[in-house]
Amino acid sequence: MKQNSVAVVGAAETTKMGKIPDVSVIGLHADAALNAMKDAGLNPSDIDGVACAGISPVELAHYLGITPTYADGTSVGGCSFMLHVRHAAAAINEGLCKTVLITHGESGRSRVGAAGWGRAPSSLMGQFEMPFGVTSPPTMFTIPVLRYMKTYGVTEEDLATVAVVQREWAAKNPRSSFKDPISVDDVLNSPMIAWPFRMLMCCLVTDGGGALILTSADRAKDFPNKPVYVLGTGESVETPMVSQMEDFTSSKAFRVSGKKAFDEAGIKHSDVDHLMIYDAFAHLPLYGLEDLGFVKPGEAKDFVRERNTAIGGKLPMNTNGGGLSYMHSGMYGMYALQESVRQMRGIAPAQVEGAKISVCHGVGGMFAASGTVIFSNEK
Amino acid sequence: MARILPEPTPETQHFWDGARNGELLLQRNKATGEAYFPPRPFCPKTGSRDVEVFKASGRATLYSYVINHRPRPDMGTEPHSIAVVQLEEGPRMMTNIVGCPQTPEALVLDMPLEVVFEKVSDTISLPLFQPAKG
Question: Which residue among B6, B8, B80 sits closest to A133, beta carbon to beta carbon?
Answer: B80
Q: How confident is the model at residue A229 (pLDDT cuts 50, 70, 90)?
A: very high
Q: What is the largest CA-CA distance in chain A?
A: 55
- SS3 state of residue A371: strand
As a whole number, mean pLDDT of residues A355-367 equals 97
**Across the A/B interface, how many CB contacts are shorter than 8 Å?**
110
**pLDDT: which is higher, A121 or B23:** B23
- How many angstroms separate the CA atoms of A94 and A315, rounded? 35
Q: How confident is the model at residue A4 (pLDDT cuts 50, 70, 90)?
A: confident
Question: Which residue among A128, A133, A138 sits closest to B38, beta carbon to beta carbon?
Answer: A128
Q: How confident is the model at residue B101 (pLDDT cuts 50, 70, 90)?
A: very high
Tell me whether residues B66 and A127 touch, CB distance under 8 A: no
Rg (CA), chain A: 19
Task: Give A-chain residues touching B64 at CB under 8 angstroms.
Answer: 143-147, 248
Task: Give B-chain residues touching A241 at CB under 8 angstroms.
Answer: 38, 94
Tell me whether residues B126 and A138 touch, CB distance under 8 A: no
Q: Would you call A188 an interface residue with chain B, using a CB distance cutoff of 8 Å?
A: no
Q: Percent of chain A, pLDDT > 70? A: 99
Region for B90 from its dihedrals, namely left if φ exceeds 0, alpha if ψ lies in -120 to 50, beta otherwise: left
pTM, entire model: 0.95
Give every CB contact of residue A168 below 8 A, 6+ residues apart in sequence: A181, A310, A311
pLDDT in the model for residue B3: 86
Cβ atoms of A204 and A325 within 8 Å: the answer is yes
| Residue of chain B minimizing CA distance to A118 | B4
pLDDT in the model for residue A91: 98
Helix, strand, coil distribution of chain A in percent, nearest 5: 35, 20, 45
Res A339 pLDDT > 70: yes
Report in angstroms the alpha-carbon separations of A89 from A48, A68, A231: 13, 16, 10
Q: Where are the domains of chain B?
A: 13-131
Q: Would you call A304 an interface residue with chain B, using a CB distance cutoff of 8 Å?
A: no
- SS3 state of residue A341: helix
Res A2 pLDDT > 90: no
Res A317 pLDDT > 70: yes
- What are the structural domains, with CATH classification, of chain A? 6-113+204-376 (3.40.47.10)
Mutation site, A202, A243, A247, A250, interface B, largest B CB count within 10 A:
A243
How would you classify the pairing of strands A6-13 and B80-87? unpaired
Res B1 pLDDT > 80: no
- How many angstroms separate the CA atoms of A304 and A298, rounded? 11
pLDDT in the model for residue B20: 98
pLDDT digits (tens, 9 = 90+) for A245-267: 999 999 999 999 999 999 999 99
Report in angstroms the alpha-carbon separations of B24 from A66, A144, A154, B95: 54, 23, 34, 13
pLDDT digits (tens, 9 = 90+) for B104-134: 999 999 999 999 999 999 999 999 999 999 6
pLDDT in the model for residue A265: 97
Tell me the nearest-neighbour CA distance from A258 into chain B, angstroms. Answer: 24
Chain Cα centroid distance, residue A362:
4
Q: Which residue spans within chain A are E strands per DSSP?
A: 6-13, 49-52, 70-72, 99-107, 192-195, 197-198, 207-216, 228-237, 274-277, 357-364, 369-376
Triad A256, A357, A263: Cα angle to 5°: 30
Res A79 pLDDT > 70: yes
Res A133 pLDDT > 70: yes
Res A369 pLDDT > 80: yes
Mutation site, A123, A128, A145, A247, interface B, largest B CB count within 10 A:
A128
Tell me whether residues A122 and B71 touch, CB distance under 8 A: no
Q: Is the dihedral of CA A171, A177, A180, A183 positive or negative?
A: negative
Stated length of chain B: 134
pLDDT in the model for residue A120: 86
As a whole number, mean pLDDT of residues A142-167 equals 98
Task: Give B-chain residues touching A244 at CB under 8 angstroms.
Answer: 37-38, 92
Tell me whether residues A131 and B5 touch, CB distance under 8 A: yes
Res A117 pLDDT > 80: no
Q: Which residue spans within A283-368 are E strands per DSSP?
A: 357-364
Give every CB contact of residue A247 below 8 A, 6+ residues apart in sequence: none
- SS3 state of residue A287: helix
Tell me whether residues A194 and B70 touch, CB distance under 8 A: yes
Stated length of chain A: 379
